[in-house]
Amino acid sequence: MQVGTSLVINLQEKTYDIDLDEDLILPIVANFDGVVTQINAYQGTPMVKSGDVVKRGQVLIAPYVMVDGERKEMRARGEVIASIFIKGQVIFNENGTELVRSGNCVTIKEMEFFGTTFKAKHKEMNFSKYEIEKSSEIICKNMPICFKIITTRYYELVEQQVTKTFEQEREFLIKKSRYQAYENLQSDFNVVEEQTDIVLAGDNYYITTYLKVNMDIGAYNYEGNI
């Protein structure tokens, strides 16, 4: 059973000078690895083009434009649509034990705001073996003030004796890998392609489902963090 948490943050009320915030010279950077499919730069200079492979943290739209040979700095604005891959994987061994999720999960949520991290109250994670899944969501992206919610899920793993052959378990394992892939998927992602690969390496079968999704991967870089 998944253990939920609620985000509880106490912030002192503060009035922000919008004009001052508008003067912040910020680039738009990638918050995922991916392949660019479309870029719309409303303000600033595009640093990538359609078809480029980009890495997390790479500058996508620089915070300046060139006017008559002179560099004019400004806050970058725009969107960069890219194809990214989200995966789910299970490992199967006919001759021993396998690690499976017990059903216990601890979810930890954090908020990044101007380089400062605020942690929510949550249940302590004391699993001896676990899988980690992490996702992030930009709130008010491309707005004068924005922040990021980071969700980390710890899934407890337990050993289970293998009693069936791979062929007997094949369809179940494929469904399980697909389930894990979609579990990692955020609701606003648009799945454009799905593929499941099965690889035998030594005594282990690796069943991996890849989801190709298109999304805006751009985010502001506050104090070196995305």
What tokens does 48 get? 């990538």
Report residue 67 as tokens. Answer: 């006017």
Length of the chain: 226
CA dist 125 and 104 (Å) reads 10
Tokens 């499976």 appear where? 100
Q: What is the pLDDT of residue 222?
A: 59
How many whole angstroms separate alpha carbon 31 and alpha carbon 28? 9
**Residue type at 51?**
G
Q: Do the beta carbons of residue 149 and residue 111 sit within 8 Å?
A: yes
C-alpha closest to that of 126 among 151, 98, 94, 104? 104
133-168 pLDDT per residue, tens: 888 777 766 666 677 788 888 999 998 887 788 999
**The one-letter amino acid at 155:** Y
Helices (H), 99-224: 166-183
Question: Where would I find the H helices in 78-165?
Answer: none
Q: How far apart are CA 102 and CA 86, in angstroms?
A: 23
Collect all residues with Cβ–Cβ distance below 8 Å to 150 and sequence separation of at least 6: 109, 110, 111, 112, 134, 135, 136
- Give pLDDT, residue 178: 92
Q: Taking the CB of residue 181, how many other CB atoms lie within 10 A of it?
A: 21
Ranges of residues in the chain with a pLDDT under 50 are 1-20, 224-226
d(CA 78, CA 45): 10
pTM of the model: 0.54
